[in-house]
Each structure stands twice: as C-alpha cells, then as structure tokens.
C-alpha cells in the first residue's frame, strides 16, 4: 500500500527552487518526489532512524 500523502504549501528562495527543479529533472522525478527523497535522507542522517519512514 502506498503511503498517505499530505498536500502542503511552502515558500522557497527562487535559486533553491531552480536548483531543485534541475536536480529533480536530472533524476527523472517530480519536484515533489525529489524534495520528499531529500527530506527523508536528511531525517535518516540526522536521527539515525529509518524505520518510521516509508521507502518511497
């Protein structure tokens, strides 16, 4: 079963958004998917815990 998703709205610096768009495109992902992956990786690194995060 796919994890539940929640729609949010955030404000980013223009240069950060442009970089995220480029990186997401290079990785053949949507901006939303890419941000989700980056955040999961950061949380895992900071907490050392991956068990509460879905893999996709």
Structure tokens at 48: 């050392």
Return the HEC string of 1-40: CCCCCCCCCCCCCHHHHHHHHHHHHHCCCCHHHHHHHHHH
Where are the domains positioned within the chain? 14-47
Note whether 53 and 38 are within 8 A (CB).
Answer: no
Q: What pLDDT was estimated at residue 55? A: 56
Mean pLDDT of the chain, nearest integer: 90
Least confident range of 31-35, 37-41, 52-56: 52-56
Q: Output the pTM of the full model.
A: 0.79
Does the structure show a pLDDT above 60 at 51?
no
Confidence of residue 48 (pLDDT cuts 50, 70, 90): confident
């Amino acid at each position: 079963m796919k994890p539940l998703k929640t729609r949010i709205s955030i404000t980013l610096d223009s240069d950060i958004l442009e970089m995220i768009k480029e990186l997401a495109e290079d990785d053949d992902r949507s901006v939303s998917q890419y941000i989700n992956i980056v955040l999961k990786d950061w949380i895992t690194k900071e907490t050392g815990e991956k068990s509460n995060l879905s893999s996709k």
